[in-house]
Amino acid sequence: MLNGIIPATWAPALHALLRVVTGLLFLEHGTSKVLGFPINEMWQGAYAQMGTMTTITGVIELVAGILIIIGAFTRITAFILSGYMAVAFWMVHVGMMKSIFPMINQGEAAVFFCFVFLFFAAAGAGPYSVDDSRNT
């Protein structure tokens, strides 16, 4: 047990759950930008302008989100996404909002994604993943 709260035997399943939920949240950013669903006023109409930076980042988020969800090529995908989110934080959130503080520049999600992806780059996909099934 981890200090009597959560059994250590749950760690692999929770690792997989973190991967899937993170991938779903990341995928949602891509579907909002590329497919217009769920509707986000910030991306309204951006999905119709193929070739824009918003569309390119949306496609990256779609493909990478799916790879993270199923746990395929997780280490390399997560490593790339960790850098991608660091760049997003500095270019978009700090650059446009002129503040380094995530609370002020609305960059909490970018910072959080950056470090969760860094975890997956180091730890891998965990159980219940394509990567795990290839290794067994």
* Percent of the residues in the chain that have a pLDDT greater than 70, as a whole number: 88
pLDDT at 136 over 70: no
pLDDT at 112 over 50: yes
Domains of the chain: which residue ranges? Answer: 14-128
Other C-beta atoms within 10 Å of 22: how many?
21
Sign of the dihedral defined by the CA atoms of residues 122, 83, 68, 15, in that order:
positive
pLDDT at 4 over 80: no
Average pLDDT across the chain, whole number: 88
Q: What is the pLDDT of residues 22-64, one digit of tens each?
A: 999 999 999 988 888 887 776 555 445 556 788 889 999 999 9
pLDDT of residue 47: 47
Q: Which long-range contacts (CB under 8 A, 24 or more apart) does 6-15 make?
A: 12/126, 12/127, 13/127, 13/128, 15/123, 15/126, 15/127
pLDDT at 129 over 60: yes
Give 116's DSSP letter. Answer: H
pLDDT at 82 over 90: yes
Which value, in Å, is the radius of gyration of the alpha carbons in the chain? 16
